[in-house]
Structure 1
Amino acid sequence: MTIEKTLFAAADKMRGSMDPGEYKHVALGLLFLRYISIAFQRKYDELLPEGLDVAEDVDEYMADGIFWVPEAARWRTLSAQSKDPKIGVKVDDAMRAIEADNEQLKGALPKVFGREALGGHVVTGLIDLFSNIEFEGTRKDFDLIGRIYEYFISEFASNEGKRGGDFHTPKPVVELIVDMIEPLRGRMYEPCCGSGSFMVHSERFLDHHAGRREDLAIYGQELNHTTYGLARMNLAIRGIVARIEWNDQGTLLRDAFPDEKFDFAMANPPFNISDWGGGILAEDRRWTFGTPPVGNANFAWMQHIYDKLGSTGIAGVVMANGSMSSMSSGEGDIRRAMVEGGAVDAMVALPGQLFYGTQIPACVWILAKDKSNGIAKDAKLRDRRGEVLFIDARKMGALVAGSRKQKELSQEEVVRIAAAYHAWRGEPDAGSYEDEPGFCKAASLEDITKHNYVLTPGRYVGAGAAEEDGEPFEEKFDRLTAELRAQFAEGRRLEQEIETQLEGLL
């Protein structure tokens, strides 16, 4: 069993009657405290030979991006007191002390450990559990920490139903969007950032492509305050600097960055939300392609995100499949205006059963502000106006080991989809693009018009080539006919047997 599964199984046994939505913050909050304490202690031991005054100098830690941890909040202090009946209160006080000494963590850390409903034995058990994790206190730990965070978040999302799915985007879907829009340098925006998964994977993308963290400025906004805190911990534990804002009205009603434009945007907005303030925002300037229906926020989200893009910006947005074909409440007209306005770059139909807590099938919209690339002679990308790339990935994905209903895309499938998109865009070293029946099609505006601006990829890519099994048609026909006759005969035999049994009951 992997360390993630071991930790989750052990922690899950301690959960008791606590709501899983709250419990994940307890477990991950302690994991955060464990790591920053180890990182602090490593630096402290390194500085101590230079004198106690140097080891106690806060600036020495800030210079290395290490959080200052007060004595009472250090893991060794709390671990030594783990059997104290008031250990939960002590952990809450530790979280407050850390926030007081680290401005960037103010309001981010959970203070729920002293609650009577949680029980001291749970806090004691978790402290003992996390004490067994061996951290170095360096960036080398990020991979393990990330795996534990993602595993805990996804497992709780699968148990929470719709509420869990609201904030958690499956890792392969995040990777797909990051790989498609490639946020290497500039400003990146996530309007409903949840646990910060897009931001984390953008940083990983930079690391894997020799990018520099200082070249990518990250912005985000979140409505749920506890999830907002989780996102900040998720980023802080990796040393990712991001500006994340929270308010209780949400992004559509109160944009935290009203005057900002971005080079990249990524989002998995909640699907088909009806209570989004549509009546209040009916005349909003963001509705370039038409006023979204009051009863569904899907096209409000997409137009908001498109509005936030700079002159060459690009966005990847996860949406319910209905967004590709719905004609109700003017959505068909908005979709047509988006296509004719050159806003839609590519559409990807995803496999079913990817998302936790919902069976609603989903798709990815890739939006682009300038598909012409300025028609510059030295433009790296080709002019894609009047064309949309459709990718049908519905047949991809496989069941997750041990699950009968949860699927995920493989790394190879993510690479294949992203590669088709980059080749179609004409990117250097991406290879030449060709339509592939059953998988991808570069459709013209004329083709899309014939389909009444319905953007379901299956309508455009056609059927893939049938697999040849090498059996001659005549032989296959005779074999299948014989099988059919045998099945008919078996059906008649069973029918007679049932009648005989029924007669015996009379």
Structure 2
Amino acid sequence: MTSIQQRAALQRQIWAIANDVRGAVDGWDFKQYVLGTLFYRFISENFAIYIEADDDSIHYAGLPDNIITPDIKDDAIKTKGYFIYPSQLFANVAARANSNESLNTDLADIFAAIENSASGYPSGRDIKGLFADFDTTSNRLGTTVKDKNTRLAAVLKGVAGLDFGDAHSGDFESNHIDLFGDAYEFLISNYAANAGKSGGEFFTPQHVSKLIAQLAMHKQTRVNKIYDPACGSGSLLLQAKKHFDAHIIEDGFYGQELNHTTYNLARMNMFLHNINYDKFNIQLGDTLIAPHFDGDKPFDAIVSNPPYSVKWIGSDDPTLINDDRFAPAGVLAPKSKADFAFVLHALSYLSGKGRAAIVCFPGIFYRSGAEAKIRQYLVDNNYVETIIALAPNLFFGTTIAVTILVLSKHKTDTTPSSLMPVACSKKKPTTTCCWIPTSTRSWPCSTARRMSSTLPVPYRLSRLQPMITTSR
């Protein structure tokens, strides 16, 4: 079986499990249990491989817990960020799940123990609360303890039956981890596709994520770190890891997320793609009013798909106009539309050599008032490098034809021809607005219809459907 066939078979199997096991429970509500169980299996197998260290005489799952010394535990936590005793490993819990009458409380205790093992260590912040949404006492699992245990056992057995290959043979990182990461991303994307509007709030489709990562990393052979101020489940950050050599992202992956559940998904997603705790920093909170990383070194690459036209406090907080992120523009984004607040935030966090690629609601490129003034500020200061108007129906939960705004602080060419508008539609540009960034007015895409092959390769959307037409 080829790797493509193996992935397809695995995806069919895991989605069947997710649907069969949940019964009458809503799929959106049940996602935490399937995703959490997949994560639990991954960190268990990853941890066992680390302890065994290619020594065929050691089978960690078969060892008694009391063989673990304080030094072994301390060294493991410093390296992996957490500790799992043999009896707590996924394989051992799944093997006795059907007969375990206290399965739900045992799982809760194990998850708490894994999180607490990092307490007092540098990884504590990254591990704490990872399993918070895996509520083993929830009535979503059933009204009685027996019902809860039956459903939990079914999830464990289903995930245990997934064939990720032999973790003990070949290159663990390139085979086993890739399959786990792909399965996790597949599940998240399917849940997003079936979740309606809310689905787009935490997952950016992979083909779009890849393009955004390419735009942010274009012509950069090395970046200090990559940042997403509204990171959702982390899909944009992970595309940068997947499509670029790991060594060129020197200091790791940074993000902030407002939603607690999605914040946990992002942290799990990092681990599942073998990004160790010391190479990512995902924070919980409101990026616009309580930003993290403001004292850090600016970022060489920023990717983002922030929520479209959401409300924020804006001018109701008189201190924000003096905030270093917003003050240079001289005006705040409207309270009813925070789009440009996210743009200005990203620009403020961008290094002098870096580039930001941000998915934007198209209205910000032609609406009047404060947004027109912010547009003028961006143009006057030569920050706009590229604007790409995407085709509709590319994102979960919306049919809107959104745009990608690419910002840079190191442009030297200030002539109008240095600005590159890109239009896209099913066959040719028609009525979708494409902002020509030499002006604050909007233009129909037909204005930029005479486009050809002058785009650098990373800017070509040949893999996106519908196809685009480009000009310069």
TM over 0.5: yes
Normalised to the residue count of structure 1, the TM-score between the two structures is 0.73
**CA offsets, 1:426-449, max 9 Å, x none?**
xxxxxxxxxxx969xxx9x9x755
1:142 alignment partner in structure 2: 177
**Relative to 1, partners in 2 of residues 1:370 and 1:43: Cα closer, same or farther, differing over 3 Å?**
closer
1:180 alignment partner in structure 2: 215
Distance, in Å, in 2 between the alignment partners of 1:5 and 1:369 is: 45
Distance, in Å, in 1 between the alignment partners of 2:75 and 2:442 is: 55
Correspondence list, 1:86-485, <5 A: 86-102=102-118, 103=124, 104-109=126-131, 110-118=133-141, 119-135=148-164, 136-137=166-167, 138-139=172-173, 140-182=175-217, 184-207=222-245, 211-212=246-247, 215-240=250-275, 241-247=279-285, 250-260=286-296, 261-280=298-317, 281-287=320-326, 288-289=328-329, 290-327=331-368, 329-372=369-412, 383=413, 386=416, 387-395=418-426, 448-449=437-438, 452-454=439-441, 458-462=445-449
Distance, in Å, in 1 between the alignment partners of 2:394 and 2:287 is: 25
Report SS of the residue matched to 1:243: strand
Distance, in Å, in 2 between the alignment partners of 1:23 and 1:277 is: 36
For 1:333, the aligned partner's letter is K
Q: CA deviation at 1:299?
A: 0.8
Distance, in Å, in 2 between the alignment partners of 1:48 and 1:321 is: 58
Q: CA deviation at 1:28?
A: 1.0
Contact 2:32–2:134 at 8 Å: present in 1 too? no
Which sits farther off after the overlay, 148-157 or 35-44?
35-44
| Count of residues paired in the alignment | 402
Normalised to the residue count of structure 2, the TM-score between the two structures is 0.77
**Relative to 1, partners in 2 of residues 1:132 and 1:455: Cα closer, same or farther, differing over 3 Å?**
farther
Contact 1:348–1:457 at 8 Å: present in 2 too? no
Distance, in Å, in 2 between the alignment partners of 1:385 and 1:59 is: 59
Report SS of the residue matched to 2:16: helix
Distance, in Å, in 2 between the alignment partners of 1:149 and 1:197 is: 11
Report SS of the residue matched to 1:357: coil
Contact 1:348–1:390 at 8 Å: present in 2 too? yes
For 2:354, the aligned partner's letter is G
**Relative to 1, partners in 2 of residues 1:438 and 1:277: Cα closer, same or farther, differing over 3 Å?**
closer
Distance, in Å, in 2 between the alignment partners of 1:460 and 1:143 is: 44
Which sits farther off after the overlay, 272-281 or 163-172?
272-281
**In percent, how many aligned pairs have the same letter?**
27
2:121 alignment partner in structure 1: none
Distance, in Å, in 1 between the alignment partners of 2:34 and 2:287 is: 28
Distance, in Å, in 2 between the alignment partners of 1:127 and 1:340 is: 57
Contact 2:390–2:404 at 8 Å: present in 1 too? yes
Distance, in Å, in 2 between the alignment partners of 1:80 and 1:215 is: 41
1:3 alignment partner in structure 2: 10
- Runs of 5+ consecutive residues of structure 1 not aligned to the other structure: 373-382, 397-436, 466-506
Q: CA deviation at 1:310?
A: 1.7
Report SS of the residue matched to 2:302: strand
2:72 alignment partner in structure 1: 57
**Relative to 1, partners in 2 of residues 1:203 and 1:16: Cα closer, same or farther, differing over 3 Å?**
same
Report SS of the residue matched to 2:176: helix
Which sits farther off after the overlay, 36-45 or 169-178?
36-45
Q: CA deviation at 1:277?
A: 4.3
For 2:13, the aligned partner's letter is T
**CA offsets, 1:314-347, max 9 Å, x none?**
10000111122222x3212221221121111100
Contact 1:318–1:365 at 8 Å: present in 2 too? yes
Q: CA deviation at 1:124?
A: 1.1
Aligned-CA RMSD value: 2.9
**CA offsets, 1:192-225, max 9 Å, x none?**
1110112211111233xxx516624322111111
Distance, in Å, in 2 between the alignment partners of 1:74 and 1:55 is: 18
- Runs of 5+ consecutive residues of structure 2 not aligned to the other structure: 1-7, 119-123, 142-147, 453-472
**Relative to 1, partners in 2 of residues 1:330 and 1:69: Cα closer, same or farther, differing over 3 Å?**
same
- Deviating beyond 6 angstroms after TM superposition, the runs of 4 or more aligned structure 1 residues are none
Report SS of the residue matched to 1:57: helix
**Relative to 1, partners in 2 of residues 1:264 and 1:457: Cα closer, same or farther, differing over 3 Å?**
farther
Distance, in Å, in 1 between the alignment partners of 2:248 and 2:29 is: 32
